[in-house]
Amino acid sequence: MSTNVNRPGNLSQQNFQHLMAQAPVAISILRGPQFIIELANSQILELWGKNENVIGLQLTAGLPEIKDQPFVALLQGVYNTGVTHYGHEARVTLVRDNVPGQYYFNFVYQAITDTDGSIGGIMVVATEVTEQVLSRRKLEDAEERLRLAAEATGLGTFDLDLQKGVIIHSPRLAEIFGRRSTDNISHAELRQIVLPVDLHIVIGAFDRALQTGIYFYEARVIWLDATIHWIRTTGKIIYSDNGAPLRMLGTIQDISEQKRILDDLQKSEENLRLATQAAEVGTFDLDLLNQSMVWDRRCRELFGMEDFDGPVSYDNQFLFGLHPDDKEKTDQAVNRAYNRQLSNGEYDVEYRTIGIDDKKLRWVRAKGKVSFNDEDIPQRFIGAVLDITENKLNEIRKNDFIAIASHELKTPLTSLKAYIQLLHVNARKSGDSFLLNALQKSENQINKMTKLIYGFLDLSKLESGKLRLERHEFDLNALIEEVTAENRPIAQSHTITFSGGKPIIITADREKIGQVINNFISNAVKYSPKKTDIKVSAQCLTGQVKVSIHDNGIGIKLKDQQNIFQRFYRVEDESTKGFSGFGIGLYLSAEIIELHHGKIGVDSAEGQGAEFYFLLPA
Ligand code: ADP
């Protein structure tokens, strides 16, 4: 039997086999319909992961793992038809070193004809391409991932051959330039889509990229429908070994929306700037994380340094610019705003500044808000400052007027009271009951007027910071007894009761505390119907004393309760029709209690009477 695989006629069978064994490719000859492994050179044995023991065996016996793979059928096809089969990157499962694995091969199955012309076997020539296939797959995977990432972020990608000027781009890139995703756009066409006035930006960036290797620009493109869109391009140049630019790889993003938002933001900032300018409001912005502070021009003006453009800081400009008497209170207000539990970040304070450069005194109202992180740590403090100098000066003038007027009224009133008391003595002697009654009423009115005038005097003292306490030790019960006794003749319409007890000794301003109790009692009389009871009580609690005055009058709505301690606040509704007043009594009382570091309050409901109280440290 002789084999004919284009064997040159002068080559013996032995020599032929020797040649094949030496060939640099993997070769095997499978003989007969059983595919007996007649010849397998060392290369193919290595690819199969087998040794020479397989020679002489049936293929499926030597390589049992290929039984369930398509190769036996392919071999049969070639054996039956004589048609050569070429396999390209075919995946084969082979057991190498007892471990099954996937490998890839390019191979040829070629029929071997015997001398009689019949097919006697098949020659297998194979080269392994596993590594190429796997690395190509990896590359494809990486490209796919990149493509997906680019798609997910809406990025278009491009690869420009700098030598030939040919560009390959992703479908998304075409869309960003206003074309169909299936369109292929050349580099020159892309340039034509750029808005002509922005073309210099693109060309400039391109020239720079050739120098620096980095490509970046933001420019506008004009779509076929004439709409204009913003794009941002970033790229990198790839160089050859000798430094010649080969390719430019990059991404393009549609940033129209970002630009629009930025534009809107700039517009609204501009509007805010114009509005604050018109209202002459200054603004400040304190970044608490890196302790940087920004003051606008108006804010600088209010600190008397309008020509100073340099950086400002909390200590060097803010605290330094404050009037010495307002430093502590203002610093406290800021620290309070930093405490979320105390203030919820709200800041509202009035202070004076002494111009850092111009030395002018200004009154300022500042309002701000602190923002916190989840751990309640303050992050940022922003706010506005307003010049209230004019209002303040008017207020001061008004206070001065009140102070002078009430002071001037005091003297004639005192002598009026003295005369009336004199007349009282005479009337009592004469027993003229009409006169007695009339004089008693006059005296009551004078007392009322005196209280009012003292109230105004105290108010102006308070406003100018001149209201001072004169603390002494005294018995609180004795004071209450005294004040109730004083009120009884004036308020005969009501029954005022006080069941004092053991002395309660406290250190406080006796006269001022008396004034507060007096104010509570007069209000109780004023705001409750005739013939009702007013109960005064005092009790010792742990570390403090409490005085309360309970009446059965018109009561106070919850919403008004928060305001009645404010200056000039009066409840104005059906229930208070016909009651006159100035709304300063409770304000003064609250300030007096505050000066004593005490607490003032009210428990009431509309139509249910009221209980006013204050607590003082014992
Ligand atoms: P005035 O009594 O002069 O208006 P006050 O400062 O003493 O000023 O009181 C403020 C407001 O509080 C009053 O206008 C009144 O509406 C309300 N008020 C005070 N005391 C009482 C009370 N005992 N019962 C009901 N309302 C009261």
CA dihedral angle for residue 360, residue 366, residue 372, residue 377, rounded to 10 degrees: 50
pLDDT at site 12: 67
Domains 154-259 and 471-617 share a fold: no
Tell how far the Cα of 516 is from the centroid of ligand 1, in angstroms.
13
CB of 553 closer than 6 angstroms to any ligand 1 atom = yes
pLDDT at site 580: 84
Q: What is the mean pLDDT of residues 253-279?
A: 89
**pLDDT tens, position by position, 214-231:** 999 999 999 999 999 999
Which candidate, 43, 95, 47, 44, places its Cα nearest to that of 69? 95
In testing the pocket of ligand 1, which one of 571, 587, 588, 592 has its CB within 8 Å of the most ligand atoms?
571
Domain ranges of the chain: 14-134, 154-259, 280-467, 471-617
For the cut 70, the answer to whether the pLDDT of residue 10 exceeds it is no
Q: Which one is predicted more confidently, 581 or 107?
A: 107
**pLDDT tens, position by position, 134-164:** 999 998 888 888 878 877 788 999 999 999 9
* Residue with CA closest to ligand 1 atom 7: 585
CATH topology of domain 154-259: Beta-Lactamase (3.30.450)
Exposure string for 580-591, b = 16+ CB within 10 A, e = fewer: ebeebbbbbbbb
CB of 564 closer than 6 angstroms to any ligand 1 atom = yes
pLDDT at site 4: 46
CATH number of this structure's domain 471-617: 3.30.565.10
Cα–Cα–Cα angle for 459, 461, 467, nearest 5°? Answer: 110
- Separation between Cα atoms, residue 283 and residue 296, nearest integer Å: 6
Tell how far the Cα of 496 is from the centroid of ligand 1, in angstroms.
18
**pLDDT tens, position by position, 110-136:** 999 988 889 999 999 999 999 999 999
- φ/ψ bin of 415: left (φ > 0), alpha (ψ from -120 to 50), beta (otherwise): alpha
**pLDDT tens, position by position, 231-265:** 999 999 999 888 899 999 999 999 999 999 999 99
Tell how far the Cα of 169 is from the centroid of ligand 1, in angstroms.
80
Share of the chain above pLDDT 70, in %: 98
Locate the ligand 1 atom nearest the alpha carbon of residue 553 and give its number: 24
CATH topology of domain 14-134: Beta-Lactamase (3.30.450)
Q: In angstroms, how far is CA 549 from the centroid of its own chain?
A: 48
Q: How high does pLDDT run on average in the chain?
A: 91
CATH number of this structure's domain 280-467: 3.30.450.20
- Separation between Cα atoms, residue 65 and residue 69, nearest integer Å: 8
Locate the ligand 1 atom nearest the alpha carbon of residue 581 and give its number: 3
pLDDT at site 390: 93
From residue 95, how far is each of 47, 102, 252, 418 by CA, in Å? 10, 9, 49, 128
Burial class (CB in 10 A: 0-12, 13-18, 19+), 251: buried
**pLDDT tens, position by position, 534-578:** 999 999 999 999 999 999 999 999 989 989 999 889 998 888 888
Q: In angstroms, how far is CA 270 from the centroid of its own chain?
A: 22
Q: In angstroms, how far is CA 253 from the centroid of its own chain?
A: 27
**pLDDT tens, position by position, 388-431:** 999 989 988 888 888 888 888 888 999 999 999 999 899 999 98
Q: Which residue has the tokens 């993997």?
A: 26
* Residue with CA closest to ligand 1 atom 8: 583
Which candidate, 293, 291, 309, 292, places its Cα nearest to that of 301? 309
For the cut 70, the answer to whether the pLDDT of residue 3 exceeds it is no
pLDDT at site 243: 87
pLDDT at site 154: 87
**pLDDT tens, position by position, 325-372:** 999 999 999 999 999 998 999 999 999 999 999 999 999 999 999 999
